[in-house]
Amino acid sequence: MQIVKQELKFSTVVSDSTNVNDFIVEFMNLEETEGLSPIKVTKNFDELLQFLDELEDE
């Protein structure tokens, strides 16, 4: 079983991009209050995978 060091919540954002490969996912620290800046914003699938790999390596 993998131990989670940090609990995150995420949200997706709709943008005006015309590129079908672009999307935005914002990751927030679950423990912090609303209204704070996201700890990470990914804008495409490659960035999302890289961030998830970084989380796994921590």
For 17-52, the DSSP string reads ---TTEEEEEEEETTSPTTSPPSEEEEEHHHHHHHH
Total structural domains in the chain?
A: 1
> 44 forms bridges with which residues in the sheet?
22
By residue range, what is the domain housing residue 29? 23-58
Q: In 3D, which of 25, 24, 36, 32 has the Cα closest to residue 6? A: 32
Per-residue pLDDT of the chain (58 residues; tens, 9 = 90+): 455 567 888 888 777 777 777 788 988 887 766 667 888 999 888 999 999 888 887 7
Q: Is residue 31 part of a domain?
A: yes
Q: Is residue 44 part of a domain?
A: yes
Q: What is the pTM of this model?
A: 0.68
Cα–Cα distance for residue pair 5/17, rounded to 1 Å: 34
Q: Is residue 16 part of a domain?
A: no
Q: Is residue 58 part of a domain?
A: yes
